[in-house]
Structure 1
């Protein structure tokens, strides 16, 4: 049975003085410098542990702790082997579902050979389909060991729901634990497993949708309505972080008024000076803000959902690759591994039409500034 954190610990970690959470953004944007800057300014910074070697993640935690005395959270991807939301028969080696999945991945690899040629790559640089492991764990066990031994104060999970034993283990080491949810049903199940807080992710969010069952289509219920549904399902005392298209102070005030403990913002921090966002993505965001590219005629950013890059639904600036590869299978991490070299080559070539550019619906409002200034703007103390 999970041990409930003390009320003081829960409050200090889930209700920051400046009620804004810098969302964990895996793949580069969420540096320890960004997390530390947001926490030092009174918000809550996060380190993205997904697709991060455990040794580097441990060093990031140590660097953030040296930079600020304020707590910084760590977010971990839940691998399919640890995700209780996936039916056992669908993940069994050699099952019909696994054979279909392998065939779909092989077919998708074949469809990407023209992309490799376009980028001047040797086709051999794309991994062979039979070498891609659906049960790869992203260092899950080692990261849990690090969280336990390092007594990380706040750990959250995305991409699924771990077993109650995982919550028991990290609660015993003193961690406050959270889960990203996209439906009220996911929320109640997360609490049943031992979650202390919930990050409620609306469809407006940039990056990956944390639908617990990766084969399910992501919901379309707008954040405001989803937040109300989750609150009704879990009761008044569970801390909720509200995520999805929050780019300005009015939106922050709206979710706080609706009962959220904090607004969780990712896209708003993509152009922060401390973020590890690539030069190519910064340029694309600048173009979206100027309305010259990746923008609708009304000036809003043109984003869409895709599985083309990773095999899990994610929202990004809509480009050619997304449009031409709408048939990508629901197969993370295989698709993510398959496109890794393509994404690297496209980034090196400055080809924004071929690389993933994760961002939410409010991407056109992202502005370059120090993280503290962006946080201040989200609180309404200066214009965004």
Structure 2
């Protein structure tokens, strides 16, 4: 039987409060607690709680034949603890069914894989410990990096950490004529299996579902099943990867997105030769067809599927560079608040808000940003970073003076 692998990214950043130049050296708390709590509770009511309840119903109704997987960022887990313990409990109920897989990632939903192998491996270990703590000793075996960022060398590092597989984007410029509907292997560490997102069918749900100007609107389960039946029979794995906030937040409830998901398993079981599997089950059951070569990092963001959503313009590069200049100093400091802020300041969203792209991708960036412009995002972040640098330097001086 061919299989559908659903993967959902669950992430909410800790947003920085308005932080003025005159706050530098005086105010050392950077986080907008009111906004973070308000947004978390809003998304919980619109997405997390109703969608978790729906998935639990489907898993129970189909006796485990319906399965999904999640990666939940560490910064999101921290906010569940603080603002939405009911959401955390609902995820625990899903995992307890035995038919939901949790994936590893970086604790801070960070871009550290692009800059520091040490920081990357440290953050992955921290995230792994958080998953263990919250989910009764659960140990993920499959990895997905922040925003599905992947390259041959990142994959090799992930393999060294003992993971069986990794998820990434089925980018056209990497695949060429190949299909994303197979299992591939890393070019440096061939024991690491690579699952690729089918971005066409994933984005039909995640981005186009409620778009009334889309030629295929409205998307029904019957139509979707017809499409997957058109996939060549030898292509055994359909990877549908998307933000979990697709359900109820990006695609509102009145679009019919919840009804679509509730009806999809029945349509698949009765109208196709597909079933559902978790990433680990896919990796166990499917054979690798070939090596995939990704010398330059890819991601699942924007039209280019590269890193330009977060890095590449002068604002992003200056902020990113200044932040990671602090790594060696921060390692020497035994201070819980500095270590916390170090992790949260690495969250990729801060750099995403500084993106200066225009046209369609620019619209998407503006939708997610709490700032009026990328320049406001940069100024606010750099003010905070300036204060953080002062704190770090002060602690290093105190340490050296002992």
Tell me the TM-score normalized by structure 2. 0.30
Higher RCO (CA-CA < 8 Å; seq separation 6+): 2
Comparing both structures, which one devotes a greater share of its residues to helix?
2
Kindly name which structure, 1 or 2, has the bigger radius of gyration based on alpha carbons: 2
Tell me the TM-score normalized by structure 1. 0.31
